[in-house]
Chains A and B, each alone.
Chain A
Amino acid sequence: QKEVEQNSGPLSVPEGAIASLNCTYSDRVSQSFFWYRQYSGKSPELIMSIYSNGDKEDGRFTAQLNKASQYVSLLIRDSQPSDSATYLCAVVSGTYKYIFGTGTRLKVLA
């Protein structure tokens, strides 16, 4: 079982719709969770971080964490073509163990 799993996609949504991206992880003691956005040929940039169970909202983005079920999700409301990118889930266990998923490619159709 991979430590951090994401559906590779592509996930295609129409402009204005809600995009839902999911990530599951295997280490129960994981403490910190991040969503990074990576445009093609560019470096990852942080979208959201979440540390406790529940929802965290920032503009059009909402991160959801459920530690009991070991999953974290990212919702993008009112999706725009500029949101088209690969979204990487990262899970941290311990002091340095920062594990990335393989990413989900999102395509927002105009």
Chain B
Amino acid sequence: NAGVTQTPKFRILKIGQSMTLQCTQDMNHNYMYWYRQDPGMGLKLIYYSVGAGITDKGEVPNGYNVSRSTTEDFPLRLELAAPSQTSVYFCASSFGQAQETQYFGPGTRLLVL
């Protein structure tokens, strides 16, 4: 099992550019999550999904979009990159509800200049 994988590991974007952060899990987990972590801060939930075709907003969804067409994949889309989106992005998954352990991917470091 690869667990949760994320690509790319690092990316530099110019203001106004768009990109998609990829996340894939091979554990057949129903729940998937996107977090951002700013330096010295905790994790903030951006979006989450409880299964294919079902997504919902977390604490900080503005400027992001998601889709979940399969159980395995949960891409995060940035449409118009802004410096405030400079952060480390983590994808996570859990088998059942949020009461269960979340397994994290290695993260994507994004720098918007």
23 A-B pairs whose Cβ atoms sit less than 8 Å apart in the complex: A8-B40, A31-B99, A34-B101, A34-B102, A42-B106, A42-B107, A43-B104, A43-B105, A43-B106, A44-B90, A49-B101, A88-B43, A95-B97, A96-B50, A96-B56, A96-B58, A96-B98, A97-B98, A100-B42, A102-B40, A102-B41, A102-B42, A103-B42
In the complex, which residues of chain B have a beta carbon less than 8 angstroms from the beta carbon of A34?
A: 101-102
> A100 CB to closest chain B CB, in angstroms?
4
In the complex, which residues of chain A have a beta carbon less than 8 angstroms from the beta carbon of B50?
A: 96
Complex-state Cα separation, A96 to B31, whole angstroms: 9
Across the interface, do B98 and A98 meet the contact criterion of CB distance under 8 Å? Answer: yes
Complex-state Cα separation, A94 to B99, whole angstroms: 8
Given contacts A43-B90, A43-B106, contact A98 B101 (CB under 8 A): no
Across the interface, do A94 and B98 meet the contact criterion of CB distance under 8 Å? Answer: yes
B48 at interface by CB-CB < 8 Å? yes
Complex-state Cα separation, A86 to B42, whole angstroms: 10
Interface residues on A, range: 20 to 34
Complex-state Cα separation, A95 to B99, whole angstroms: 7
Complex-state Cα separation, A78 to B42, whole angstroms: 27
Chain B 34-57 against A: per-residue CB contact (8 Å), 1 yes, 0 no? Answer: 010000111111001010000010
Across the interface, do B99 and A32 meet the contact criterion of CB distance under 8 Å? Answer: yes
> B45 CB to closest chain A CB, in angstroms?
7
A-B interface pairs (CB < 8 A), number: 51
**Supplied contacts A44-B90, A44-B104, 8 more A-B pairs, CB within 8 Å:** A42-B107, A46-B103, A96-B31, A96-B50, A96-B58, A96-B98, A97-B98, A98-B33
> B89 CB to closest chain A CB, in angstroms?
11
In the complex, which residues of chain A have a beta carbon less than 8 angstroms from the beta carbon of B41?
A: 102
What number of B residues sit within 8 Å (CB to CB) of A?
24
In the complex, which residues of chain A have a beta carbon less than 8 angstroms from the beta carbon of B31?
A: 96
Q: Which of A31-60 contact B (CB under 8 A)?
A: 31-32, 34, 42-46, 49, 51
In the complex, which residues of chain A have a beta carbon less than 8 angstroms from the beta carbon of B90?
A: 43-44
